[in-house]
Amino acid sequence: MNIDSQTDAFRHVQTAHCENGVTTALLRYHGLDFMTEPLAFGMGSGLFYIQIPFLTVNNGPAISFRTMPGAIFSRTCKSLGVEVTRKKFSSTAAAESFLDKKVQEGVPVGCQVGVFHLAYFPKEYRFHFNAHNLIVYGQEDDRYLVSDPVMEDVTSLSKPELTRVRFAQGPLAPKGHIYFPNKITPITDDIIRKGIIKGIRRNVRDMLRIPGNFAGVDGIRHTSNHIRKWRDKLGLKKASLYLGQIVRMQEEIGTGGGGFRFLYGAFLEEGAAYLQDDRVATISEDFTKAGDMWRASAIKMAGVYKGRLTEQKDFEEIADMLLDIRLVEKEAFQKLSKLNLGK
């Protein structure tokens, strides 16, 4: 079987993050050739931060550097007036039947899966995370043709392999989740500009004005306060594992914390060209700075996790780094909020 021979219409797109890539590839398949990963991420208001209270993942704090899974695809499509279909299933048989129907119709579809049993993933990247996204775009012999945006090339999965990851158990269980665009009308530059502005405004709201103290820029401070207490409260070993969990969520799941900030900066640069507004491009530099700062904090956290840094002062320094990051991101979003885009 030659899985490199993709269908005539569908083209694999490699991206830094899975949902951005699925969104980009599916929309390009339907003729929206202007779509890029940064545009998908920004129009979908993908940048976020949250430490979810009272929830642990892999025995560590539940932290996310992006918006909830599925929102990027839904928001980007809605901004462009693209109608979509989403389905979840109570049985594997129904999920398989529906997927086979779309494959026979020649319709590429997005699927949410767990990565722990994803056969083509390197073993070191397999852990219990159920919000990974890939595209099934065809079938050859008894295997589904798969385009996973974080992989360099296309691959394939058997029916049992795909069903297993589509029905992975645990937090964010996919339940056979499948989605795809089903109606696209002509997209003008004006529609794209409005989508960019809407994406920016929603991201400003989510990062600056969301209620509570555990999400948005205030969520970064919330985590900082926790880090200061972890060594004394949890003991060095468990506190180190918690920091290791943040590094994993930040650097190994998709583009992670720092990478998402670089991606948002790229979105603002592309958006500035559509909006013909150099002020937007200038603010992109703030997010590049935030990305660098997140990467620096990850290096420091990894030092604790690996046992090289063990003192309370190391936890204090990491907590202070997060406060500095919060300030940069808060000021950047405040700048965006003052631009009065589209007025």
Residues 146 and 211 in one domain: no
Residues 91 and 126 in one domain: yes
Residue 306 within any structural domain of the chain: yes
pLDDT(3) > 50: no
Query: What percentage of the chain has pLDDT greater than the value 90?
Result: 78
Q: Which domain holds residue 130?
A: 18-35+83-183
CA distances from 286 to 206, 263, 321, 323, 326 (A): 18, 12, 16, 15, 12
- The whole-number pLDDT of residue 252 equals 58
Model pTM above 0.85: yes
CA distances from 132 to 24, 67, 175, 324 (A): 15, 13, 13, 30
Pairing of strands 155-158, 143-147: antiparallel
What's the total number of domains in the chain? Answer: 2
Q: What token pair was written down for 250?
A: 């930040």
Residues 103 and 246 in one domain: no
**Average confidence score pLDDT of the chain:** 92
Residues 25 and 164 in one domain: yes
323 φψ region: left (φ > 0), alpha (ψ -120 to 50), beta (else): alpha
Domain boundary among 163, 183, 203: 183
Residue 74 within any structural domain of the chain: no
269 touches 281 (CB < 8 A): yes
Query: For residues 1 and 183, which has the higher predicted lDDT (pLDDT)?
Result: 183
Residues 173 and 197 in one domain: no
Among 56-60, 114-118, 143-147, 218-222, the minimum mean pLDDT is found in 56-60
Residues 262 and 148 in one domain: no
Residue 149 within any structural domain of the chain: yes
Domain boundary among 183, 204, 232: 183
Q: What token pair was written down for 122?
A: 């390197």
Residue 40 within any structural domain of the chain: no
Residues 122 and 230 in one domain: no
- The whole-number pLDDT of residue 8 equals 53
Residue 241 within any structural domain of the chain: yes
Whole-number Å distance between alpha carbons of 19 and 200? 18
Domain boundary among 131, 152, 183: 183
Residue 58 within any structural domain of the chain: no
Residues 129 and 199 in one domain: no
Whole-number Å distance between alpha carbons of 121 and 161? 12
Give SS3 for 34.
coil
CATH number at residue 108: 3.90.70.10
Query: What percentage of the chain has pLDDT greater than the value 70?
Result: 95
Residue 78 within any structural domain of the chain: no
- The whole-number pLDDT of residue 127 equals 75
Residue 282, CB-side half-sphere exposure with 13 Å CA sphere: 8
Q: Count of residues for the chain?
A: 343
Residue-wise pLDDT tens digits, 300-328: 999 999 999 999 999 999 999 999 999 99
Nearest in space to 96 (alpha carbons), one of 144, 132, 129, 133? 144
Residue 232 within any structural domain of the chain: yes
Whole-number Å distance between alpha carbons of 50 and 57? 13
Residues 87 and 224 in one domain: no
